[in-house]
Amino acid sequence: MTYQDLSHLKVPPRCSGNCEPGRCDEGFGFGPMSLDRLMPMHLVVGLDGTILRVAPTLQKLRPGQILNGASFWELFELRRPRRLASVSEMLATEDGRLALMFRTGIRTSFKAIIVPLPCDNGALINLSFGISVVEAVRAYDLTVRDFSGTDLAVEMLYLVEAKSAALHESKKLNLRLEGAKVAAEEQAFTDTLTGLKNRRAMDHVVGRLLGEQAPFALMQIDLDFFKQVNDTYGHAAGDEVLQAVARVLVAETRQTDMVARVGGDEFVLVFMGVADLANLELLAKRIISRLEEPIPFGEADLKVSGSIGLTSTEIRPGATMEELLQDADMALYSSKHAGRSCCTIAEPPPA
């Protein structure tokens, strides 16, 4: 916008014609402080390219560097229009629109408008960040005070700040929801009395292993004489027995194995990647021995034992979950009929 363009606004020019270089902005009817408020990122350059005056926000972008007296061409790279080498050529552009970039340091890009000052004292160049305002605010630690009150960048900053706050709160909410989801899923897969996995978790794990065609073994355990404990000493004693059994089973298995309580006094152990049933049979005997140890309850010693049925994907390749559990169950009841406190390995199905 030229000086003549402003004349129809009836802004009284105050240029005497004897103005100092770079100070003829008074001819627009505005003093330096007014220009700083209206255009906090403007600069005044002489026709030779010397920077004569810099607005506060623009100076803030180059802390510790004295811009007054510096060369415009050493500070900025003209990106558009290209091949212009003087202030006069920039002023001669059709609409005065420029695209600039700092030559050194943070290579910030700017959009700019250049207008001539009266009396051929140079040019006024007003800069803005354009769509890179958010990156510039972060890079230079700018605040709302560094922009004109009517600059759309101010509204953009408010929107960005509001969006950042909303995203932060959304992230915190999502973390809480994810935590609640994990806790709910864990609870859904956990037996509340013993802390072991439950039937639902066992079904999930076995189904996944079958889908992956991964080898595993199943050990089904049923407590002997548990009903007598409940009937004689009450359910609190029965709960004590179940918790003690859970501790034994966890202690005797690996972290990679799964121990689940699938019924009142029924437990299933899943051994991932195990094919050696001989070692599992030895483990079963050790578990049986430990289950026979008396469990203190008040002044009484609670006594139970365990019967075990054992099977694996090696015994019955391609079996479904129901078939494997049925095989383990049949082996378990074979142990019951054999006098309890023993382990039976499932027989392969007939050819």
Residues marked as catalytic: 265
Contact 297, 228 (CB under 8 A): no
Residue 123: partners with Cβ closer than 8 Å, 6 or more residues away: 44, 45, 47, 87, 90, 91, 114, 115, 116, 117
DSSP assignments along 204-247, one per residue: HHHHHHHHHT--EEEEEEEEESHHHHHHHH-HHHHHHHHHHHHH
Residue 110 CB neighbours (<10 A): 22
Q: SS3 sequence, 248-313?
A: HHHHCCCCCCEEEECCCCEEEEEEECCCCHHHHHHHHHHHHHHHCCCEEECCEEECCEEEEEEEEC
